[in-house]
Amino acid sequence: MRHNIHPRPSRPQAARVLFAVAGVYLFFAAVPPLRARIEHKPGFNTFTPQQDIELGREAARDAERQMPVVTDAQLSEYVNRLGQNLSRLAPGHRYPYQFKLINAKEINAFALPGGPIYIHTGIITAAASEAQLAGVLAHEICHVALRHSTNQASKAMLAQAPLAILGGVLSGGGLAGQLAQLGIAFGANSVFLKFSRGSEQQSDEQGAQILYDAGYDPRAMAQFFETIERESGGRSLEFLSSHPNPGNRERNILGLISKLGPPRSFTADNIEFEAMKRRVAELRPPDARSRGAAPAGRPQPAEPSRRFRDLNNDWFRIGYPENWQVYGQGTSTVAIVPPEGIIPGNGGSLPTIAYGALISVYEPVREPRRRLTLPAATEQLVRELQKSNPNLRVVNRSAGPRRPDGQETFSVTARGQSPFEGQTELNWITTTFRPEGLWYVVFIAPEGSWNTYDPVFRQMLEAVRFPR
């Protein structure tokens, strides 16, 4: 399984930490200034807005090498025109926003730092009106304007390697290439594009203001999100996991409308939107794209040390071989790998893990008035992993032993394609419920080396402890 690692950015050449303290300013199209309007400011950030732009451009080049960008001129022009009209009303820095369609039926959208925004054609298929599509775009615009991705990365980066970052020890290549030397990368599946409920609420509220100013009903955004959450049936897990519901979305936006301005008539003309929906339905499915592999002669990792170190990451503790490295310490996603266990991206792809462990928390979709079981939540996680790892095939599912604290566990073993050319790999996924969501660890190694790593993985799992 080709796990992209998404630890934490920095500005490697910076010798100081930069704080985003500039006030958010708003532009209104034919709307006079009003009191009590929504105003969120970007949080702590070690990057400059120009660095957001640089990172976004490099990540966009990588994403477009791997993803089927729609080339239909009418569809592309429509989505970009709609996005540009909305982005003129966005707060903060004047980023060079770009809006592109990905030919994918899954409901998903993501925004890279500095302006590139992508939506799947599945969004257009699922939306009932142009206002709902505009709501998704406005929401993503606000993630860029409020700098949510580099805010997360800045906090994680300082926890990960402050001395290396502030000392400017990295060299060579562009900013993203330098960050990759610390195992830090932005990309379509990056942990930095999976936002907290607080960030989601900010984007909801600021996006509602953009919709109002552009002449769309702000409730359309909440209605679309609520609809796909209610009707997803597992179809939109990727979107919901990266855009968690902050709670009572529609009610919160309804409460904001009186603050946005006086009652007004909203845009209801969907003729062009309906034509674009038909055009999306006529698109041919994208061709399967090849995935890069590590060169066959790449050095193999040294055997795992029998001596273990302890990692205390606040929300869990684990032991690991002392000759392995930790990426993402202090954050919601941690990779523990031997030095040769990370395979650099090939042909523009992101680094992947070939040996080691990936630890994180997943938020499963819960159906109203139905108890979510651990096997069902784990199955949702596996389907989510399969979206970015299409060769992943489950070979075994089983209930695991109860933990010392009484918590039940569940295990899935899956076989996939290793980043090492011509090799398969095994992925041992173990889950348990925690207050933060579905805690999981994925142990990864080539199938031919599994017997060497299996005892180490089991020792690591036995060492896992959670704070009370």
Tens of pLDDT along 246-261? 667 778 888 888 888 8
Residues of the chain with CATH 3.40.1000.10: 308-462
Asked if 60 contacts 116 with a C-beta cutoff of 8 angstroms, the reply is yes
Report the alpha-carbon distance of residue 7 to residue 20 in Å, rounded.
Answer: 21
Of the candidates 328, 52, 333, 327, the residue with the CA atom closest to the CA atom of residue 191 = 333
Tokens at 20, concatenated: 């985003």
**pLDDT value of residue 439:** 94
Report the alpha-carbon distance of residue 360 to residue 343 in Å, rounded.
Answer: 20
**pLDDT value of residue 277:** 95
**pLDDT value of residue 231:** 61
**pLDDT value of residue 444:** 94
Residues of the chain with pLDDT under 70: 1-37, 155-196, 230-247, 287-299, 330-331, 344-351, 388, 421, 468
**pLDDT value of residue 22:** 25
Report the alpha-carbon distance of residue 291 to residue 3 in Å, rounded.
Answer: 12
**pLDDT value of residue 175:** 55
For the chain, the residue count is 468
Report the alpha-carbon distance of residue 370 to residue 233 in Å, rounded.
Answer: 13
Of the candidates 121, 148, 145, 157, the residue with the CA atom closest to the CA atom of residue 17 = 157
Q: Which fold has domain 308-462?
A: Protein Transport Mog1p; Chain A (3.40.1000)
Between CA 280 and CA 72, with CA 79 as vertex, the angle to 5 degrees is 50
**pLDDT value of residue 241:** 55
Count of Cβ atoms closer than 10 Å to residue 281 Cβ: 10
Q: Which amino acid is at 247?
A: G
pTM of the predicted structure, to 2 decimals: 0.54
- Residue 173: DSSP 8-state: S
Tokens at 73, concatenated: 């001129």
Tokens 């050095």 belong to which residue?
299
